[in-house]
Amino acid sequence: MPRFELGSYVEAFILWLLQNAGALFDGIGAVITAVVEAVTVVFTAPPWWLWLALLVVLALLVRGVGFAVFALLGFALVSSFDLWTETMETFGLVLVAALIAAAIGVPLGIWAARSRAASRSLRPVLDTMQTIPAFVYLIPVVLLFGIGVVPGIVATIVFSIAPAVRLTELGIRGVDSEVVEAAHAFGAHPRQILREVQLPMALPSIMAGVNQVIMLALSMVVVAGLAGADGLGTIVVSAVTQLDIAAGIEGGLAVVIVAIFLDRFTSALADRPDSSLLAKLRARRATAPTASTTAAPAASSGAANRPAGAAGVAGVGAGAG
């Protein structure tokens, strides 16, 4: 059987893109670089103790004292490793990649939830994106965008976008159909139903997808370091190449602390007040059983006060039936 040269065709396509759309990729790379640099400046310019205090306050407001203590001890430990700047660079890189992946993945998940054809079309693409090793598609990304932070960001987005799509679709499809029908009965527009009913009820699943996006983005830190991005990935790559166990342990522990903080923080964002339309629907469903139970005693008392002749007539009618 003759060999199918799939790799050669893909390589020819990538080279064609580089020759004919090089300016487009240069523009995308310039925008991503500017955004990452701006976010990195925001995280690295202030003194470390100022950001530490802010992270502790955010942890206290979001999840309480226990999470605040973890943030204080964890990031103080990172600062004692002299890895604060690298940790904040990784923080910015993961934040940008996760936001872009969620901004693309959540709308795709909504589209897939509303269209069976879209769901069937996206499924094999998502399977391919999740199963291909990151180093494989890092090669064309580096060829298109060059060495630096941009190929690391792009590879991270491609690798981590699938959970946002899948869990958004799963959450919206899992919304109770009776609630959606009640919203239709209220006269709500489909966009209003999506915005005020389906998305709030699917929010735990969507935020679980965002959590997975962040975890996968953090797992790509080393790959981004290989591509030339700054941050903890550079520390880990250097420790591996130099067989520096101490630096590898400290860099890996810093990644773990950032991962736990972002995971707990994003999971807490799912707990928010109901929207107005969803609150009305839930209030209506809550009062419906009450109305039925209050109607039952009234009916029974009426039957008790009914004259005997009427009861007899009812019994005769029932027997005749």
Q: How far apart are CA 255 and CA 163, in angstroms?
A: 20
Give yes or no for a contact between 192 and 160, defined as CB atoms under 8 angstroms apart.
no
Give the pLDDT confidence score for residue 76 in this predicted structure: 92
Give the pLDDT confidence score for residue 294 in this predicted structure: 46
Give yes or no for a contact between 144 and 21, defined as CB atoms under 8 angstroms apart.
no
**Closest by CA position to 282, among listed 206, 207, 201:** 201
CATH code of 16-45+81-276, in short, is 1.10.3720.10
Instruction: Give residue for tokens 């890996």.
Output: 252
Neighbours of 299 (CB within 10 A): 9
For the purposes of burial, counting CB atoms within 10 Å of the CB of 232, is it exposed (0-12), middle (13-18) or buried (19 or more)?
buried
| Residue 174 structure tokens | 């899992």
Give yes or no for a contact between 165 and 126, defined as CB atoms under 8 angstroms apart.
yes
pTM of the complete model:
0.76
**Closest by CA position to 130, among listed 95, 101, 162:** 162
Runs of H (alpha helix) within the chain? 6-20, 22-44, 48-63, 65-80, 84-114, 116-131, 134-145, 149-173, 177-185, 190-193, 199-219, 221-226, 232-242, 245-268, 276-304, 308-320
Type of residue found at 24: L
**Closest by CA position to 278, among listed 176, 209, 205:** 176
Q: How far apart are CA 169 and CA 173, in angstroms?
A: 6
Give the pLDDT confidence score for residue 73 in this predicted structure: 93
Give yes or no for a contact between 297 and 223, defined as CB atoms under 8 angstroms apart.
no
**Closest by CA position to 154, among listed 225, 100, 105, 230:** 100
Kindly give the confidence (pLDDT) of every residue in the chain, 321 residues in length, as a single tens digit, with 9 standing for 90 and above: 677 777 788 888 888 888 888 888 888 888 988 898 898 888 888 888 898 999 999 888 888 888 899 999 999 999 888 889 989 888 888 888 889 999 999 999 999 988 889 889 989 988 888 788 777 777 888 888 878 788 888 888 888 899 899 999 888 888 877 777 777 777 777 777 777 777 888 888 888 888 888 888 888 877 777 777 778 888 888 888 888 888 889 888 998 898 888 888 877 765 554 555 555 555 565 565 554 444 444 444 444 444 444 333 333 333 333
Give the pLDDT confidence score for residue 276 in this predicted structure: 53
> Structural domain boundaries of the chain?
16-45+81-276
Q: What is the DSSP letter of 64?
A: -
Give the pLDDT confidence score for residue 77 in this predicted structure: 92
pLDDT in tens, 75-120: 999 988 888 998 988 888 888 888 999 999 999 999 998 888 988 9
Give the pLDDT confidence score for residue 284 in this predicted structure: 60
Q: How far apart are CA 314 and CA 301, in angstroms?
A: 16
